[in-house]
Amino acid sequence: MNTSSAFLTDRYELTMVDAALTAGTAHRRCSFELFSRRLSGARRYGVVAGMGRLLDLIDNFHFGTAELNWLSDNRVVSDHTLEWLSRFRFSGNILGYPEGEVFFPGSPVLVVEATFAEAVLLETLALSVLNYDSAVATAASRMVSAAGNRPLAEMGSRRTHEESAVAAARAAYIAGFSATSNLEAGRRWGVPTMGTAAHAFTLLHDTEDDAFHAQITTLGTGTTLLVDTYDIAEAVRKAVAIAGPELGAVRIDSGDLPVVVAQVRAQLDSLGAHNTRITVTNDLDEHAVASLAASPVDSYGVGTSVVVGSGSPTMGMVYKLVARQDDSGSWISTAKKSQDKASIGGRKQAFRQFDSCDTASAEILVVANEDTEASPETPENTREILVPLVLAGSIDTQYRGTEGVSLARHRHSASVAELPAEAMRLTRGDPVIPTLYR
C-alpha cells in the first residue's frame, strides 16, 4: 500500500494533538495500552489478528500535501499543528501480543510508548484494525475447533466490505482455515485460494449434464461439482457417470445437511466413488459445524458467519493512557475511574502461567511500580508474551507480509494447544483462565 493511511482516523485525534501542542504537553512520554475489558460474546478466549496489517498502515501513516491541504481548507487544526504533522513519522516503541496469540480480558494486546502526540494519533487506526480482525479470528478459531481435523474454507467476500473481505480471509487463515475464495487475500497475503462453480454455471447450460461436462473438461475430474441445483440424488448419479469414480468432490449448499450428507455418502459409495469427498457450504457457523461432527463430511465452506465474527463483529477493544511522564521525567500511573469503564493504571508486563502439565492456568499482568527503578520479578512457570514490534520507529519486518501471516498461523496453533480443554466449549461462559494482576 503506497497511499497515506493518516486519514483512517477520527478528527478528535488531531484536535487533541493541536490542543496539546498549544499547552506544551504534546511531547510528554506516554504509555498507551489496547485491551478488551471483556471477551465479546462471552467467548472463552480471544485471538489476536491484524498486527501485520497494522504495521503496514503505521509505516504509511504520514501527512502529504493532499492531507495537509484538506486539513487546512477545512480548518481542522491550527497552522503550527499543520507544520508538525508535515514532519510526522512515528518514532516511538510498540510492543504487542504476537499475531495469532490468544488473549483474555485486560491483556495488553498492544502497548504504544511514545510522546502523547505520536501515540494518540494511532488510536483509531489500531482499534479499527485489531477490533475487526481479532473478532474474525476468534470466531474462526472456534469453527476450526468444532471442525476437528476437517478443513474449512473462508468464502464470505460477498457478505462484507471489499477490503474487510481481504482482512477477514487473512484473519481466518491465521486462525486455522485452510483456504479462501478471495483472490486478493491470496495475492496480498499468500492465503491459499479455492473455488470452482456456483449455481449460475449450472443454470447457464441447457442441461446439468452439459454443465458438468464443461467443468470437468476445463478443470479435470478432481474438481468439485455442485450437486444441489435441481435434484441432489440425480446430480450425484450424473456427476459420477461423467467424471467417473475419481471425481474429486461434490458440494452441497442446501437441505437438512446431516440427512442429505449421509444419503450422498451412501450413494457415492454405491457408485464406486469411495474417494469422492463431500463439502458443505450452507450458512454454517461453529454450532452448525459441530452438529455435523458425526456426519461423513470431508470439508466445510463458511461465509457470512466468519466475516461478521459469528455474532460478535468487534472485540470491544479500547486504547487507554496508563502512564505518563511529568515535567521532571518521572512516570505517573494514570487510570479512568468511570463507572463500568474503569481502567488499571501503570505500565504492564504480560505472562502466561502454566500448571505442572504445561497447560495455561492464568494470565499474569505485572504492573510496574513507577516510584522505583527496581524491575518486577518474573512469575514462576510462565512465558512472557509481549514482543517488540516497533523500536524507535523501526518496524520488525518478520511480522509483516506473507512471512508474518505464516508466523501468526503457527503461533495460533501453538497458543491454542496450551489452553485447557474447556476453552473449546462453544457455549457462552467465563474466560477459560483468569487474568491476575500483580
**Looking at residues 214-231, what average pLDDT do you find?**
98
The span from the CA of 130 to the CA of 35, in Å, is 10
Q: How far is CA 40 from CA 135, 341, 418, in A?
A: 8, 15, 21
For residue 337, the model assigns a pLDDT of 83
Average pLDDT of span 351-360: 97
pLDDT tens digits, residue range 21-76?
A: 999 999 999 999 999 999 999 999 999 999 999 999 999 999 999 999 999 999 99
pLDDT of residue 370: 72
Confidence at residue 240, expressed as pLDDT on a 0 to 100 scale: 98
The model's confidence at residue 14, banded by pLDDT at 50, 70 and 90, is very high
Residues 17 and 14: their CA atoms lie apart, in Å, by 5
For strands 277-280 and 249-252, give the pairing: parallel
pLDDT at 111 over 90: yes
Per-residue model confidence (pLDDT) at position 372:
60
User: How confident is the model over 305-350, as pLDDT tens digits?
Assistant: 999 999 999 999 999 999 999 988 899 999 888 777 778 999 999 9
Whether residue 376 has pLDDT greater than 70? no
Task: Determine the pLDDT at residue 119.
Answer: 98
Which residue intervals of the chain bear CATH 3.20.140.10? 11-136+312-345+385-427
Whole-number pLDDT of residue 2: 56
Q: What is the tens place of the pLDDT at every residue in 251-299?
A: 999 999 999 999 999 999 999 999 999 999 999 999 999 999 999 999 9
What's the pLDDT score for residue 377?
Answer: 73
| Distance separating alpha carbons of residues 51 and 59, to the nearest angstrom | 12
Decide if domain 11-136+312-345+385-427 falls under CATH 2.60.120.560: no
Task: Judge contact between 281 and 303, C-beta under 8 A.
Answer: yes
pLDDT at 1: 46
Number of residues that make up the chain? 438
pLDDT over 60 (residue 178): yes
pTM: 0.95
Answer for the pair 242, 209: CB distance below 8 angstroms, yes or no: yes
Residue 323 phi/psi, 5-degree rounding, is -160, 150
196-297: what fold?
A: TIM Barrel (3.20.20)
69-86 average pLDDT score: 98
Is the pLDDT at 209 greater than 70, yes or no? yes
> Does pLDDT of 373 surpass 90?
no
Q: Give the pLDDT mean for 196-221.
A: 98
Tell me which of 107 and 342 has the higher pLDDT: 107
User: To 10 degrees, what angle do helices 232-243 and 257-270 make?
Assistant: 30
- Where, residue-wise, is CATH 3.20.20.70 in the chain? 196-297
pLDDT number for residue 333: 94
What does DSSP assign to residue 379? P
Distance CA 182, CA 171 (A): 12
Q: What is the mean pLDDT of the chain?
A: 96
pLDDT at position 378: 81
CA distance linking residue 90 with residue 32, whole number of Å: 14
Residue 105 cell numbers, joined:
480480558
Statement: residue 371 has pLDDT above 80: no
